[in-house]
Amino acid sequence: MANPTGESVSDAVRLDFDRRLTLQFGGSVVTSDAGLLAYRELDDALGLSVMAARCSPTHARARTAALVGLLRQSVFGRLAGYEDVNDAERLRHDPAMRWIVGGKAVVGRAASPSQIGRFETQWLATDKNLSALADLSGQWIDLVHGRRPPRGIVFDMDSSVSPTHGEQENSVWNGHYACTCYHPLFSFMRLRTTSPTSCGRWRRRNL
């Protein structure tokens, strides 16, 4: 290796025994969350984050691009398993997250922990925005069904166990669970789409 600290013209290090082989430090462009890019592609195709931003009652007072970026960083971070706001300190530099957020973050940085913290605990936490978010999942599902209409209804029935103590009314001994309990039966209804892996709207009914 002629120059172990690097080459003057190229940032790649070539080895003397075979000059076709190069070594390049890519720590600043390496990510462990590249799989999120597939979800970002789906988000872009369906316009989910954009719809979420525009559903906010306070959307008119904020820039859509800024809201969409913050929403994506918050949602995609948790999708990758980063549940702490402090994780934003590392994720804001992560190349995958910067491309997911889009806009200026691609060539700069995503939101800082303090920015994400204010977004989640102050902006999202308002009563109007919480109400809009509660209805958002149904709107997303309707959007998907608009592109791929459901072709049937599937009922999934299952039981659950709720242990009781003392002599509570209507509680009985259950040999399988080896306890005295309530044993309600639940029915989950899902609209079947043209693809068995497509999402559907679930409703639970206590029988």
pLDDT digits (tens, 9 = 90+) for 155-190: 888 888 899 988 888 899 988 889 999 988 888 776
| pLDDT value at residue 17 | 66
Which residues, in sequence order, are CB contacts of 12 under 8 Å at separation 6+? 22, 23, 24
| 189 sits in which H/E element | strand 185-192
pLDDT digits (tens, 9 = 90+) for 24-83: 666 666 788 888 999 999 999 899 998 988 888 776 666 778 889 999 999 999 999 998
Check pLDDT > 70 for residue 2: no
Do 99 and 33 contact (CB within 8 A), yes or no?
A: no
Answer left, alpha or beta for residue 166, where phi above 0 means left and psi between -120 and 50 means alpha: left
| pLDDT value at residue 98 | 92
Of 96, 111, 100, 98, whose CA–CA distance to 31 is shortest? 96
| pLDDT value at residue 163 | 92
pTM: 0.61
Do 170 and 183 contact (CB within 8 A), yes or no?
A: no
Q: Average pLDDT of 135-162?
A: 85
